[in-house]
Amino acid sequence: MSDLLIHSMAEFSSLILPCLEEAKVSNIAEIGSEFGGMSKLLAEHAGSHGGSLTCIDPEPADGFAGWAAEHSHVHHVSQPSLEALKTSQAVDAWFVDGDHNYYTVFHELCAIDAVQRAADKPLFAFLHDVSWPCARRDFYYSPERVPAGWRHPHSFDHGVKLGDDRVFEGRGLRGMGQFAVALDSGGPRNGVLTAVEDFLREADTEERPLFYVHVPAVLGLGIIFDANASWSAALAEFLLPYHANPLIARLEENRLRNWLEVIDFQDRSV
């Protein structure tokens, strides 16, 4: 079913790559590798600018480790993100597309921010899945990595539907054993967008203000960047037409509803 839905961060390349050029990005770190998708685009950009790409993923897709080993400027860190970030170095841009739950994303952002601050480098981060279905509901690839106090009751067998906070056994958008969904939607410490908002509430200060852009397409792209950076004004001007754009959001809703109808048809046909 996933083959029917465009879901790759690479779909945003026409927005992301100009941003990387404007900010003169050469060294990049990616949490959650996307072999054949965003990882290759980022590797091409880093290589053409004399930089490097660090991919943090404990369980990448088949073939990824071999591909990374073939490129001297691509480094694969086979650890969970929160472990890897303890020893990570600052880079020019971060891509966060790993485990889509509050605990992981919030602490990833806090750790990334600390690394960038320690090196006196601006924060520049791209995050995927900031819109439905992960905006206000945790998804877990590895629930055991989320401490009990942060982990919501969840199921690998249930799915979700647009415009409905309930979960449905064997129906809707679901992981087919690959990931679990939280049984409840909304509330504190639940969902990727909630994690972003809580991080911004703590990290956005008068001394170091942060801009946030939300592109409501392809499951949602979030961009956080340092408002004091020399390139921030140009980036803000370029991205403003896409931020919370109601037409884009409406087209995304229609796309998702059509896709969910296909899933329902497939489920009824089994």
- State the residue for tokens 């889509």: 100
265 contact partners, CB below 8 Å, separation of at least 6: none
pLDDT value at residue 3: 55
Are the CB atoms for 232 and 211 separated by under 8 Å? yes
Measured in degrees and rounded to the nearest 5, phi and psi for residue 62 equal: -55, 135
Nearest to 191 by CA among 237, 245, 150: 150
Are the CB atoms for 226 and 122 separated by under 8 Å? yes
Within 13 A of 15's CA, how many CA atoms are on the CB side?
24
Within 13 A of 150's CA, how many CA atoms are on the CB side?
17
Evaluate if residue 36 carries a pLDDT over 80.
no
pLDDT value at residue 34: 80
pLDDT per residue over 122-158, tens digit each? Answer: 999 999 999 999 999 999 999 999 999 999 999 999 9
What percentage of residues in the chain have a pLDDT greater than 90? 93
What sign does the dihedral 103-198-152-8 (CA atoms) show? negative
Nearest to 196 by CA among 213, 171, 175: 213
Are the CB atoms for 101 and 139 separated by under 8 Å? yes
- For residues 5-25, b (16+ Cβ closer than 10 Å) or e, as one string? bebbbbbbbebbeebbeebeb
Q: Which amino acid is at 39?
A: S
- Whole-angstrom Cα distance, residue 172 to residue 270? 14
Task: Work out the pLDDT band at 1, boundaries 50, 70, 90.
Answer: very low
pLDDT per residue over 155-204, tens digit each? Answer: 999 999 999 999 999 999 999 999 999 999 999 999 999 999 999 999 99
